[in-house]
Amino acid sequence: MDPQQRLTLELTWEALEDAGIVPDRLRDSRTGVYIGVIADDYATLTRRGGPDAIDRHSFTGLHRGIIANRVSYHLGLRGPSLTLDAGQASSLAAIHLACESIRRGESSIAIAGGVHLNLAPRAASALPGSGAVSGRRHLHLRRPRQRFRTRRGRRRGRPQAARGRPRRRGPRVLRHPRQRTQQRRWRGPPHRPHQAAQEELLRRAYRQAGVDPARVQYVELHGTGTRVGDPIEAAALGAVLGAARRPTDAPLRVGSAKTNVGHLEGAAGVVGFIKTALGLKHGELFPSLNFRTPNPDIPLDRLKLRVQTASEPWIAEGIRGRR
């Protein structure tokens, strides 16, 4: 069995315990399972063993599409059960679909998360050539690049995360997402984000959530440390959230969990989501590590952004609370 399946079973159980939900009570319920997965290294390693390595358990044991189904089968759940691949956004896409499923009444409860294991050396062999992988042991958020010398890029992590979506009454509730949106990238290379599309996405998200962008205090970034993606992400935030601020307002705090745990690829989004939800719950802004000098392509002051470099209280803003 792919160890990603075992990890997902383990983390689902932990998420239900944390939410105060007895797993046996979910049997035959409309509980949905949404898991983001982008790789199946264990299947690649197994198939290298040739025909003798394949047996009657291989199809369900190796197929990544089974990962969410494994949870539904083990717990006897009758809601939607989807394993989805949306690249590095996979686990956030899983959360989005889980929330929409609850909203439409398809699911009474949903389990959402992501899992990723780096097991096959060749699976990562293409990344250094793309300039996306850091040669250092630590990830530096938004450090400047020297095009023909060193490239910081990202560090791969060893991720696993899951989040249960409990009811409003009874089990412990960590955080209810107000609004979730999905973005399509277009123009230029397929991996290049589009600034205007990101700005439109942000405006629509805050409009639908009924939140004034000027009142947002913190944003958890994708923040991969790439030469193109980081400046575009920062510029979009500055155009929508920074521009909404008055001269006397505090800058928008930003940070990324990738400086703490590396790039968790298919599970990257849910880790940042959990980090931010815990910050809201405990009233604390968590630091991004190793930030020293801003990327010269990201004018933080002009965009009215500030990297969160120290742990400090997250002060609620009147009756509206933390945002």
- The domain locations on the chain are 1-125, 188-323
Report the alpha-carbon distance of residue 36 to residue 40 in Å, rounded: 12
Separation CA 181–CA 36 (nearest Å): 16
DSSP annotation of 28 reads T
Fold of 1-125: Peroxisomal Thiolase; Chain A, domain 1 (3.40.47)
Name the residue among 259, 217, 257 with its Cα closest to residue 237.
Answer: 217
DSSP assignment letter at 237: H
pLDDT, one tens digit per residue, over 115-125 is: 999 998 866 55
Residue 161 has pLDDT above 70, yes or no: no
- pLDDT tens for each residue of 293-319: 888 999 999 999 999 999 999 987 754
Residue 166: band (very low, low, confident or very high) from pLDDT cuts 50, 70, 90: very low
What's the confidence (pLDDT) of residue 320?
Answer: 57
1-125 shares its CATH topology with 188-323: yes
pLDDT for 279 beyond 50? yes
Provide the pLDDT for residue 134: 56
Give 32-89 pLDDT, tens digit per residue.
Answer: 999 999 999 999 999 999 999 999 999 999 999 999 999 999 999 999 999 999 999 9
Q: How far is CA 25 from CA 103, 107, 193, in A?
A: 21, 15, 43
Return the number of other C-beta atoms located less than 10 Å from residue 140's C-beta: 20
Cα(246)–Cα(33) distance, integer angstroms? 43
One-letter amino acid of 81: S
Query: The whole model's pTM is what?
Result: 0.81
Distance in angstroms (rounded) separating the CA atoms of residues 79 and 27: 10
**Closest listed residue to residue 77, CA positions, set 69, 85, 87, 89:** 69
In terms of residues, how long is the chain? Answer: 323
A 10 A CB-CB count for 5 gives: 25
What is the Cα–Cα distance from 106 to 101, expressed in whole angstroms?
A: 5
Q: Name the percent of the chain lying above pLDDT 70.
A: 77
Cα–Cα distance measured from residue 207 to residue 126, given in angstroms and rounded to the nearest whole number: 40
72 DSSP assignment? H
The average pLDDT across 3-16 equals 96
Query: What pLDDT does 191 receive?
Result: 72
pLDDT for the residue numbered 145: 36
Q: Select from 3.30.800.10, 3.40.47.10, 3.20.20.70, 3.40.50.720 the CATH code of 188-323.
A: 3.40.47.10
Of 276, 286, 294, 287, residue with least CA distance to 309: 287
Cβ atoms of 133 and 153 closer than 8 Å: yes
DSSP output for 171-215: S------S--------SSSTT---HHHHHHHHHHHHHHHT--GGG
